[in-house]
Structure 1
Amino acid sequence: MTTRRNCLAIALAFSLTAPAWAVAGEKAPDNDRASILAMAGDYRVRFDMRETASFVPSYQPLDEKVSGGYEAVRVVEDRGDFISLQHILVVEDDGKPVVVKHWRQDWTYQPANVLTYEAANKWVLTPVSAEARKGAWSQTVWQTDDSPRYGGVGKWVYEGGVASWQSDRTLRPLARRDAVRKPVYSWYAGWNRHALTPTGWIHEQDNAKLGLKDGKPVTYVHEVVLNTYSKSDKFQVKAADDYWNATKAYWAEVRTAWDRTIEKDRGITVTEEAQNGSVTGPKLMGLAEQIAEGKTDSAAAIAEAKVLIAGPAKARPLASLK
C-alpha cells in the first residue's frame, strides 16, 4: 500500500516576478522558450538511477534503483526571459490520489547570476560572465519546500532533430535516496541534461559521487540517472490541480521569502536533512497540506512560513567543496 510517507520518499529524490538576482536582459529566442514550455503537461514518470564504475577499491556500486509515479508539470510563471515550472507528484493509496508537491525548475535567459551549491548547508549567488551567459539559460532546481538544491548554466541546442540543453558541471547535495543510507560520499558533481522526445521529455544526469578521504575530495563512484517523462492521462490530474489551486498563493509567498533572503545575503545557508532534503521541509509542506485540507487559511500559514524561513540562515556551513 502506498502511504503519504512513501510518496514523500518518492518526491524527495505563482510568483509575480522573477527573483531580482536572476534578472536577464535580451528577448529570449522563441525556440528555446518553446522547448522549456514543452516540459509542462501530464506525465507518467520513471526514475532510473544506476551506479556504474567504482574508483575506490573498497567501494561496491549499488544495484540499479527504479521507481516512478505520475506528475503534473505546471507553468508557474512565464515572463519571456524567465519561466518557472512546478512538478506535482500524484500516486494512489487504496485507489485514492495522494498529491505531493515535488521539485521546481526555474529558467532564466542570459542570467547575471546563478544560485550554486558551494558546501554542506550553503548556497551562493555565483556571477555568470558575459561570455558564458550569451545565448545561455540558467536552470535553478528547488526542493519540495522551495529551498535551494542546485543551479547550472547551458545552451539549448538543436542537432539531429533533437532539442536539448546541458548544464555546466555543478555541485549538488545528496538526494534522499542516498542521504538516508549515510554513505561514504557526501555530495555530487555532475552534468544535468534535458531533451525533448516524441512522447514527452527526459532528464539525464551524469554524476560523480564524492566524499572526503584523508581530508581530500575523492570520487567513490559514477552514476547515471535517466528520468523519463511520458505523456499520460491515466491518473487523477484534477487532484494535482486542486492541490495547486488551493495552495499556490501560499507557495508564492514562500518563494518570495526564500528569494529575498538569497538576494539580501548573496546566497543562503540551510541545514540539510537526509529524510527531507532541508530541515524546513516537513513544516513548510505540512502548512500547505493544512491549507489544502481546509484546516488553516493561507494568511496564517504564510506568517508562520516566513518566520521559519528566516531561521535556516543561521545554519553553519562547512568548508567549500570547490
Structure 2
Amino acid sequence: MQTTLIMDKPMRAILIAAALLTGVAPAATAAAQSVAPSTAPARDAQFERDRQSILAQAGQYRVRFDMRENAVFRAGYEALDEKLSGGNEIVRIVYDHGDRISLQHILVMEHDGKSMVIKHWRQDWVYQPTQVLTYAGPDEWTLTSVSDADRTGAWSQTVWQTDDSPRYGGVGRWNYDNGMAEWTSNVTWRPLARRDAVRNPVYDRYLGSNRHALTPAGWVHIQDNLKMAPAQGDGGEPTAVVHEDVTNTYSRWDGYSAKPGDDYWAATKDYWAAIRDAWDAAIARGNGVHVEEEADTGVVTGMPLMDLAQKIQDGEITQDAAIAQGRRIIEDATKR
C-alpha cells in the first residue's frame, strides 16, 4: 500500500530537484477526471478526430525515456552516452473547451517505500491559432503570429515547465496516413533541458521538431533536436554541435495507486489555475515574456512556485496566501 510521503524540507528539495533534472521518477499516480462538456461549435469530422487524438493522451502510464546523441558536427565534441530511464506518469485533462485542450502530466517519486507527487510538464493545444508562444533565445519567449496558410486545419502545442512557466511552442497538423495518428510540429527553438543545462555544455539551445503519435499501448513523444552553440561575433548564426533523438514511450499501466496524485491535484489545482493566469497576464503585457533561466529548475521561478503548492497540500499556507505570493514571484521575475 502506498502512502503520501511527508518529509523534512531538505529531503523534499533534493527529490524535487532530482525530478526536475531528469524529467523522470520511479513511480506516478492516476485517476479518472471529469471534464466539462465542450461548448465549441460543431466542426468537421477531421477536427473531431484530431480532438480525440489529443484527448487519447490522457491516462495512467509507464514511461520509457530514451535520449541519444547520434551525429557530431563540431570537431572535438564527444557525443554523450545514451540515456535510458523510466517511470510512472499520469496525464490529466485540465480543461477541454473544444478547440482548446490542456493536459497536465504528474509523476511520483519513491522514497523508502513511500510516494511523493511531483507536478511535471503541461501541454496546451489550440485549433487554428493566430499566435503561438515560442522560445527566442536565452531568457526570452515571444508571441509569434501564425499565417492563415499555416493555421488552417492546424493545432498549436505549447509546452510549459513544472511551474507553468513557458518552455516551447509549435504548430502542426494531425495526419492519419499509413494507419497512424500523428502530429508533427514545425521546427522551433527550445531552451535546454535540465539534463543538459546543469552540465554547462558548449550549446545553449535546441532547434527541433516535435511529434506525438498514438500507439496500440498508448502514445509516443518523439523529439528531433539539433543542439546549437551561440553565434560568434556580430552577424553570426548559431551553429550545430550534435544531433539528438529523444523517444518517450507512454504505455498504459494501472499497476500503482492513483490516490497520492489525486490528492495533490485536488489540493493544488486552483492554485495552479491562478498561476497559469498570472503567467498569461505577464505574456500578454509584454507580447511574450522575459524570465531568467536557471539550470537546476528551468527558470528562477521553478522552486518557489513548486514549494508553495506543496505547502498548500501540507496545510502550511492558505490557498489565497499562496496565490498572492505566487503572483508576486512571477511579477518580480518578469520585470524588465
Once residues 135 and 259 of structure 1 are traced to their aligned partners in structure 2, the CA distance between those partners, rounded to angstroms, is: 25
Letter in 2 for 1:289: Q
Contact 1:51 1:223 in 2 (8 A): yes
Q: Give 1:106's aligned amino acid.
A: D
Matching residue of 1:273? 294
Aligned length: 308
Q: 1:11 to 1:298 in 2, by over 3 A?
A: farther
- Shift of residue 237, structure 1, vs aligned partner: 1.7
* Superposed displacement of residue 8, structure 1: 3.4
2:194 aligned to which of 170, 173, 176: 176
Q: CA deviation at 1:69?
A: 1.1
Fraction of identical pairs, as percent: 57
Q: Which amino acid aligns with 1:268?
A: V
Equivalent residue, structure 1, for 2:122: 104
Residues of 1 paired with 2:257 and 2:274: CA distance? 27
Task: Say whether the 8 Å CA contact 1:27–1:80 is kept in structure 2.
Answer: no
Gaps of 5+ in 1: 17-23, 316-322
Q: CA deviation at 1:4?
A: 4.2
Given candidates 285, 291, 300, the residue that maps to 1:264 is 285
TM-score (norm 2): 0.88
**Is the CA contact 2:20–2:296 (under 8 Å) kept in the aligned structure 1?**
no
SS at match of 2:79: coil
Within a 5 Å distance, the mapping from 1:6-21 to structure 2 comes to: 6-11=18-23
Q: Is the 8 A contact 1:7 1:98 kept in 2?
A: no
Residues 256-310 of structure 1 show CA distances to partners (whole Å, capped at 9, x for unaligned) of 0000111121100010000000100010000000011111111000000001111
Q: Deviations along 1:204-225, whole A, 9 cap, x unmatched?
A: 0000000125333110000000
Distance across 2 between alignment mates of 1:242 and 1:39: 21
**Structure 2 unaligned regions, length at least 5:** 1-10, 26-32
Instruction: Give the Cα–Cα distance (whole angstroms) in 1 for the partners of residues 59 and 43 of structure 2.
Output: 25
Q: Normalized against structure 1, the TM-score is what? A: 0.91
Shift of 1:3: 3.8
Contact 2:122 2:161 in 1 (8 A): yes
SS of aligned partner of 2:106: strand
Q: Counterparts of 1:1-322 in structure 2 under 5 Å?
A: 3-11=15-23, 27=43, 29-212=47-230, 214-215=232-233, 216=236, 217-314=238-335
Distance across 1 between alignment mates of 2:230 and 2:267: 44
In structure 2, what is the Cα distance between the partners aligned to 1:254 and 1:85? 16
Quick one: distance in 2 between partners of 1:206 and 1:54?
Answer: 14
Q: Distance in 2 between matches of 1:131 and 1:272?
A: 33
Q: Which amino acid aligns with 1:169?
A: V
